Structure 1
Amino acid sequence: MSTFRLRRRELRRPVLMTVGTVLALALAGGCSATSSGPVGTGGGGGSQLTVALFQNPDSLDPAATGLVSVSQIDAAIFDTLTYKFAGDDKIYPGLATSYEISPDGTTYTLHLRTGVKFQDGTPFNAQAVKANFDHIVDPATKSKSAIGALGPYKETQVVDDSTAKVVFKEPNLAFENEMSQVTLGMSSPTALQKYGAGYGNHPVGTGPFTFESFTNGQQVRVTRNPDYAWGPDKLGSGPAKLDAITFRILSDPSAQRNALNTNEVQVAGNLTPQDVATAVGAGAKTATATSSGMPYGYLINVDKAPTNDLAVRQAIQLAVDKKSILDTLFEGQFDPASSVLTASTPGFVADGVTYDPDKAGQMLDQAGWTKGPDGMRSKGGTPLTLDLINITGFGFDDISTLLQAQLKKVGIAVTITDQGFPAVATTYNQGTQNLANWFYYDVDPFTLNTVFACNQVQSGFNWSHYCNADLDAKIIAANATVDRDQRTKAYQDIVTTLNQAAAFLPIYDTKTVLVTKGVSGIQFGPTGQPYFTSATR
């Protein structure tokens, strides 16, 4: 493989971290089943792997999907323009061998690898890049994550077969990071045209594995691509070592545990901490990676009483004992979060909040929320009650119950109701809740534009209903800042403002924890999605 050459006019600093947006809280739609025969061997020694996933795919089209579990499947089928790995600051070439960024940050000139073919025989070239990016912004695609990762896209200009210019309406330095994420994986233009709206059930990439079948609610199967010869050196650059992977849909942790115990699956990623410990005690191994983006936590609605009161939001943060929650539920498996961004995300700044229920009580007293004989607070006859709408089965059920108990100790009542997809997003956009479940996987801090921008209120993912036009402008300006150090500093200032606004209650930083049996060679991207290209059994 040739050396990756980053050519950037007027810049001399090292390359910033890159890769991956996968929105975990996107809506899961139904998928019809497709199939195409049994899994065969591809010359890799006959080894097959079964991986447990906790979500049924909404779509296998990387441009359309919004589910974190789909990234594991798509990372096997599709290549990205560049690659980045957890714990490694280096950018690796993918389908692009090098790129240049214009001084104003609006144009990326991509120099593409030659000799690459999609799994249906279609050649990969600049026209394919254009077709993919045009597909993402096409309203018919109904893109969830990819359209945010692509940013203010204007057009792709085909210079020649191996050169494409991606042009943005405004400076978009985030694209340098986002080029490596799975939702910008390259699809066959032939397949996009052939299958149209049904492409999500017939994915065709250039990756190490070829799509074989999708049985809705049960499994997705992929087989080794014997022609694969253009992956990053970190993954071995040649064909995958496994002959086939079956991704089994097992949403319940106990089902994953049982399947792991009986060796029906060899990789499980949604076990309870107790089951992880038991499996390791019985000889299993763990493969882990920290994730960039936003932590598991709660978006606090700043537009609905009583959380429209800053003092109430700040008191909530002070009254929650994150360490106790994590020790109780996860046996210390995760680290407490302390910001709107995870600690591994560029722009991270800690909020400085520590567990202090006494200070929380004093703050509420000063704001006029006084305790009654029953220990619960009110102001002017209005009880201090929060509506928490919990997304059933998304990892928040027990956290919400403990949160409710902790807030009660300082006199804040919490009413918990449960909703599932797709209704919960509509409810959150309507703003009937005070607290909304949230987590988000991304490598670039520009993701804050998706979660906190004014134009995302009521129709996007701004479920805190926080709107600050000045901050919106600062986020856009930060994304247009070419100097990396200045860009990071700008985002640190933005994160500080958001932390002070207390529009988000962080609980723990996201981390991928896979339990494996007889499997080695799994690698991870910065958002924690696993790559199985070099995995062996």
Structure 2
Amino acid sequence: MRILRARAARAITAALAVGLIATGCASERDTEDGNGAKNTFVFGAPGDPSSLDPALASDGETFRVTRQAFEALLEHEPGGSELVGGLAESWESNDAGTVWTFNLRKGVKFHDGEAFNAAAVCANYDHWFNWTGTYQSSAVSYYWQTIMGGFAKNEDPETPEANYKSCTAKDENTAVIEVKKPSANLPGGFSLNALAIHSPKAIEAYEKQEASAKGDAITYPKYSQEAGTVAGTGPYKIAKWNKGNKEVTLERFEDYWGDKAKVKSLVIRTIDTEEARRQALQAGDIDGYDLVAPADVKTLEGEGFQVPTRGVFNIFYLGMTQEKNPALQKKEVRQAIAHAIDRENLVKTQLPEGGKVATQFMPDTIDGYSDKVTTYAYDTAKAKQLLSDAGESGLEVEFCYPTEVTRPYMPAPQDLFELMKADLEKAGIKVTPKPMKWAPDYLDATESGGCALHMLGWTGDFNDGYNFIGTWFAEYDKQWGFKNEELFDAVTAGSKEADPAQRVAAYERANEAIMEFLPGVPISSSPPAIAFGKNVNPPKVSPLTQENFAEVSFK
């Protein structure tokens, strides 16, 4: 998931304040049912969601919430990356990969009582396809544009051509989605929570509200910022978003079509430092939390807490935006920055056990990883020489980093920033720090090309190399701000290959071309840990960080 992507610790006083809030709320919620079981599972998340409508999001903290309430046509197997049926029991495509037929589940209801059917599927896809105005911003409709291209009528010449053609309700339980050209993003894209299905009644309300933008700042529609309008089909329904207490409350959906949630209420609370999350779990104020600090794993396990580790399925990188920053348009400068960063030290000191230095923009667990890419070893003297050769000795550059969040690929954003800043300054680059709140400020600024240097990352949405390199380098992207049709063609070549072996070979060649051009610096891949209380029966942990909290129960 994006970007979707990178993200500094608050002051200890603020962390303690969060802990006090947690303690106060816990006594009100942790009532037991008639059988003596806890009714509420409280999970500590490292950042706030940006929206209650997943279609408007590209960040993991939003999807952590919305995944509990919304379901897509396809899903991933619990704890794995294999595609399985979601709202569609089965699916198939024509030989060309342009016509996708979904046989839908029967007896499914939305949270607002509306019936799920093929017409509802088409209402969603046509709603996204016909977005206008600010909804066409890549910061708002990132995933639609990534999977389906542009819109019925593009308002910006930089918006990609639409690949979506139509959706037809063949009958009540059969939906047919047609695209213009085959894509490596399908069928995986049909599993994205950003393309989860909403009630048609809710969509009618959505369409009466506008998003707006002023500079890099996006104002999201009211319905996406408070509970009451959004309606999915998931095992939980969103009941409340208390932004003051930084938490979202979800309640069990009693008419859910599948296995009902084992715990009645789910609270996802933002606690934005690793230390504060650990202390809240130890104190019993929360029942689990994500992104455990590497140093805390053994401590928690020694105290009897459960700390499973997910598989490696992510990449963390230093991004560079060329369009508004002439110095970064010089390859020697980009090479200098790559040589200036001590990635071995970052991995050794900041990442959990099992973290690896990255040589390209995908982990070595993905087919298409190449052993032949150009590499950039840590070498401060070489970095200085390259800057001199480029006429950029004394280069000054703004470096954005996120606050109030940690990410699966980036446990401690400020610490990582400070180490990279020191490395760059050692090479003679003056760094101007620009801290920004993760959601929506940082996400919006990086998506729109508002940061010269920035820290971001990616946890894969599905298991295909194009889901990594195609995310950034298949076409012009404001985050990177460069145009290189030869590179774009190399990246998209694999997405057009029907033969799996040739597709993987094309991805390998694309990785080699990317690292020769060097649009940014891949830093690392790591296996993020997640923690649960001693009395919790946890869900299956997912390499895609797609845990389903409906599986949770208490011992």
Q: TM-score, normalised by structure 2?
A: 0.77
Moved more, 135-144 or 109-118: 135-144
Find out whether 1:62 has 2:54 as its counterpart: yes
Closer, same or farther in 2 for the Cα pair 1:108/1:524, shift >3 Å? Answer: farther
- Which residue matches 2:230? 203
Find out whether 1:129 has 2:121 as its counterpart: yes
Closer, same or farther in 2 for the Cα pair 1:47/1:428, shift >3 Å? Answer: closer
Give the counterpart letter for 1:212 in structure 2.
A
Return the alpha-carbon distance in structure 2 between the equivalents of residues 384 and 172 of structure 1: 41
Find out whether 1:190 has 2:211 as its counterpart: no
CA contact (8 A) 1:207 1:228 kept: yes
Give the counterpart letter for 1:505 in structure 2.
V
- Structure 2 regions of 5+ residues with no counterpart? 8-27, 149-162, 210-221, 406-411
Where does 1:363-442 land on structure 2 (aligned, <5 Å)?
365=385, 367=386, 369=388, 382-394=393-405, 395-409=412-426, 411-421=427-437, 424=442, 434-441=452-459, 442=461
CA offset digits 1:390-424 (Å, max 9, x no partner): 33345432212212333444x33241311315555
Return the alpha-carbon distance in structure 2 between the equivalents of residues 115 and 313 of structure 1: 55
Identity within the alignment, %: 24
* Number of residue pairs the alignment of both structures matches: 484
Return the alpha-carbon distance in structure 1 between the equivalents of residues 496 and 335 of structure 2: 32
Return the alpha-carbon distance in structure 2 between the equivalents of residues 521 and 305 of structure 1: 50
- Which residue matches 2:547? 530
Moved more, 218-227 or 86-95: 86-95
1:506 aligned to which of 500, 504, 522? 522
Where does 1:137-286 land on structure 2 (aligned, <5 Å)?
137-139=129-131, 142=135, 143-151=140-148, 152-194=163-205, 196=207, 197=209, 198-200=222-224, 201=227, 202-217=229-244, 218-230=246-258, 238-286=259-307
Closer, same or farther in 2 for the Cα pair 1:385/1:40, shift >3 Å? Answer: same
Closer, same or farther in 2 for the Cα pair 1:186/1:423, shift >3 Å? Answer: closer
CA contact (8 A) 1:132 1:189 kept: yes
CA contact (8 A) 1:312 1:364 kept: no
Return the alpha-carbon distance in structure 2 between the equivalents of residues 170 and 43 of structure 1: 56
CA offset digits 1:107-148 (Å, max 9, x no partner): 211111122222222221111111121233342583434313
- Structure 1 regions of 5+ residues with no counterpart? 1-19, 27-36, 231-237, 371-378, 458-462
Find out whether 1:300 has 2:320 as its counterpart: yes
Return the alpha-carbon distance in structure 2 between the equivalents of residues 336 and 413 of structure 1: 23
CA contact (8 A) 2:340 2:383 kept: no
Closer, same or farther in 2 for the Cα pair 1:116/1:435, shift >3 Å? Answer: same
2:254 partner SS = coil
Return the alpha-carbon distance in structure 2 between the equivalents of residues 22 and 203 of structure 1: 23
Give the aligned CA root-mean-square deviation in angstroms: 3.3
1:486 aligned to which of 502, 525, 535? 502
Return the alpha-carbon distance in structure 1 between the equivalents of residues 528 and 391 of structure 2: 46
CA offset digits 1:336-369 (Å, max 9, x no partner): 22211233344333565667445x634764x572
